[in-house]
Amino acid sequence: MAVAGSAVGLGNFLRFPVQVARNGGGAFMIPYFVALLLVGIPLMWVEWTIGRYGGGFEHSTAPGAFHSMWQKNRFIKYFGVIGIFGPLVIMIYYTYIESWTLAYSWFSLTQRYGSALDQEAMQSFLRGFQGLEKNEFFSSMAPAYIFFLITFIVNISVLYKGIKGGIEKFCKVAMPLLLFFAVILAVRVLTLGAVDPSVPENNVINGLGYMWNPDLSLLREGRVWLAATGQIFFTLSVGIGSILTYASYLKKGDDVALSGLSAVSMNEFSEVILAGSIVIPATFVFFGAHAVGAIADSGAFNLAFVTMPLIFQEMPLSRFMGFLWFGLLFLAGVTSSVSLAQPAIAFLEDEFDITREKAVKIFAAVTFLLCNAVIFFLRFGVVDELDFWGGTFCLVLFAAVEVILFGWVFGIDRAWEEVHHGADMRIPRIYKYIIKYVTPAFLLIVLGVWFFQEWIPIIGMETVPAANRPYVFATRVALVALFGVLSIMVKIAWRKRKRGRVS
């Protein structure tokens, strides 16, 4: 249940529609499904299995789990650092975006956005709230900061109580409620028809067409494949390191095959069928095809915050509906953000022998500082930069390392046997070859094509506005420094462990 909670979150309802819109609608869905079948599902099994295997050696995070699988190699543990670094980077901006859902839940109840009746006004409301401009809705960032503080405290409290006491109990209530409410919303959107009779082409059917009409010309662009692969990773929480940490708490005889597949199916149901039937068609109906892309380009998570309040205004009990929807989204966000925090906390607990309470306190102090940087530098493109490196690039890189380790170093025959220990289902045999050959090749090709097509413009910050470049550069320096600190911590932990064994 905790893994399902980590899989179903803001990635489904906020990030997915933006990725669809930014990458050509229907053009995005083909690589998306290819990545799901050839990368997402196999990696789910790989990560659950590596986690359970590492847990047998009392390691709950990637550096230790990787080292358990390839004990002769001194450097493999440093590749595992990506499995702590990636979720930590995502957590830094995810918590802030999660706090927007809490804020919008409150704004729905109080009808704070009630006077924003069209797309421009609603975008202005969002920009005012984010502190990007002062306008008639907001004169300062104080409301955003207060909601962030509440969100941060909720997250730390849940983490403090641990998986069984905090996260699982939370998921058991939040998940079914969120799915039930999403079904109601999907039905409402699909029965909207054309809202503005003067623009009949802006209707639900064309909205669905925006998402599903395949555009084969964009398939040659590495950017679309990397974005689709990145979304699969983000939404399934694979290539991040948090599933590995959760799976490390399983016993050797516990199932990983069916559990992994169930988490995938639940996630895809809520993402493709529910979120795909809500945000994109609704945005299309209200604003038209051109606006879908434009709003998506304004920020990696903005689309639903502009669109959904307008949909609620078209529904009966709009206050209550908006309050419930954003509230449930907040709960789903919390289940995901606490899972992002798990690797770093488990790393401190396992490798430095400190108590969970102390580990949570250290984690809280560090992430609080980093979150503040995100809040105050949001306008300079910091979130999009963190989302690219932490939420896309690192995930693909980490997955490539773990699948090669699993299929080639650990050995696919041994790995296949390990996946099926205590399994409730037999995985189709074709996946043995997919895991060994196709998944690593797919990931290396995506990385290679992206490197060939986009590396120079991205490194040279050619797409970043000139005013934002110093901030984006500083973000990159901070990310390198964070990775360096984590690597040094791994080195210290292993030296300590070695000394402990000698004495």
Partner 1 sequence: MTLLGWVFMACSWFFILALSSFCFYKIFSKKKLD
Query: CA-to-CA distance for 500 and 292, rounded, in angstroms?
Result: 58
For partner 1, the binding residues in 434-473 under the rule CB under 8 A are none
In the bound state with partner 1, the residue whose beta carbon lies nearer, of 19 and 475, is 19
CB of 402 to partner 1, least distance (A): 23
Please identify which residue in 121, 183, 195, 209 interacts with partner 1, judged by CB under 8 A. 209
In the bound state with partner 1, the residue whose beta carbon lies nearer, of 61 and 277, is 277
β-bridge partners, 100: none
Q: Verify binding: residue 269, partner 1, rule CB under 8 A.
A: yes
In the bound state with partner 1, the residue whose beta carbon lies nearer, of 157 and 213, is 213
Coil, strand or helix: which one is 258?
helix
In the bound state with partner 1, the residue whose beta carbon lies nearer, of 211 and 226, is 211
Please answer whether residues 278 and 185 qualify as being in contact, where contact means their C-beta atoms are separated by less than 8 angstroms.
yes
Q: Verify binding: residue 268, partner 1, rule CB under 8 A.
A: yes
For partner 1, the binding residues in 8-47 under the rule CB under 8 A are 26, 29, 33
Q: With CA atoms as reference, report the closest residue to 420 among 112, 52, 140.
A: 52
Instruction: Name the CA dihedral angle for 204, 205, 206, 209, rounded to a multiple of 10 degrees.
Output: 120
Query: CA-to-CA distance for 500 and 52, rounded, in angstroms?
Result: 24
Q: With CA atoms as reference, report the closest residue to 86 among 443, 339, 334, 450.
A: 339
Sign of the CA dihedral running 411, 412, 414, 419 = positive
Q: How many CB atoms lie within 10 A of CB 488?
A: 11
Sign of the CA dihedral running 145, 151, 157, 159 = negative
Q: Verify binding: residue 420, partner 1, rule CB under 8 A.
A: yes
Which stretch of DSSP H or E encloses residue 128?
helix 119-130
Query: CA-to-CA distance for 3 and 45, rounded, in angstroms?
Result: 13
CB of 209 to partner 1, least distance (A): 3
Which stretch of DSSP H or E encloses residue 289?
helix 289-297
Amino acid identity of residue 336, one-letter, is: S
Q: Verify binding: residue 214, partner 1, rule CB under 8 A.
A: yes
In the bound state with partner 1, the residue whose beta carbon lies nearer, of 162 and 214, is 214
CB of 427 to partner 1, least distance (A): 10
CB of 258 to partner 1, least distance (A): 5
For partner 1, the binding residues in 329-348 under the rule CB under 8 A are none
Q: Verify binding: residue 179, partner 1, rule CB under 8 A.
A: no
β-bridge partners, 194: 203
Please identify which residue in 315, 354, 404, 422 interacts with partner 1, judged by CB under 8 A. 422
484 contact partners, CB below 8 Å, separation of at least 6: none
Query: CA-to-CA distance for 363 and 356, rounded, in angstroms?
Result: 10
CB of 203 to partner 1, least distance (A): 10
CB of 186 to partner 1, least distance (A): 12
Query: CA-to-CA distance for 159 and 360, rounded, in angstroms?
Result: 7
Q: Verify binding: residue 141, partner 1, rule CB under 8 A.
A: no
CB of 49 to partner 1, least distance (A): 15
Residues in binding contact with partner 1, number by CB under 8 A: 29
Query: CA-to-CA distance for 245 and 266, rounded, in angstroms?
Result: 20
In the bound state with partner 1, the residue whose beta carbon lies nearer, of 161 and 420, is 420
Please identify which residue in 177, 266, 479, 489 interacts with partner 1, judged by CB under 8 A. 266
In the bound state with partner 1, the residue whose beta carbon lies nearer, of 215 and 454, is 215
Query: CA-to-CA distance for 44 and 49, rounded, in angstroms?
Result: 9
Whole-number Cα distances in Å, 457 to 232, 273, 445 = 24, 35, 19
| Extended strands (E) in 178-297 | none
In the bound state with partner 1, the residue whose beta carbon lies nearer, of 258 and 485, is 258
Q: Verify binding: residue 273, partner 1, rule CB under 8 A.
A: yes
Sign of the CA dihedral running 3, 413, 41, 451 = positive
147 contact partners, CB below 8 Å, separation of at least 6: 99, 100, 102, 103, 106
What x/- string results for residues 226 through 265 when contact with partner 1 is judged by CB under 8 A?
Answer: -----------------------------x--x--xx-xx
Q: Per CB under 8 A, which region of 133-141, 202-210, 323-331, 495-503 contacts partner 1? A: 202-210
Query: CA-to-CA distance for 20 and 280, rounded, in angstroms?
Result: 8
CB of 397 to partner 1, least distance (A): 28
In the bound state with partner 1, the residue whose beta carbon lies nearer, of 135 and 213, is 213
CB of 422 to partner 1, least distance (A): 7
Q: Verify binding: residue 426, partner 1, rule CB under 8 A.
A: yes
In the bound state with partner 1, the residue whose beta carbon lies nearer, of 277 and 392, is 277
Q: Per CB under 8 A, which region of 45-53, 201-209, 446-454, 490-498 contacts partner 1? A: 201-209
Please identify which residue in 319, 421, 432, 497 interacts with partner 1, judged by CB under 8 A. 421
In the bound state with partner 1, the residue whose beta carbon lies nearer, of 162 and 209, is 209
Q: What region, left, alpha or beta, does residue 413 occupy, with left being phi > 0 and alpha being psi -120 to 50 degrees?
A: alpha
Please identify which residue in 165, 184, 196, 212 interacts with partner 1, judged by CB under 8 A. 212
Q: Which residues bind partner 1 (CB under 8 A)?
A: 26, 29, 33, 205-206, 208-209, 211-214, 255, 258, 261-262, 264-266, 268-269, 272-273, 420-426
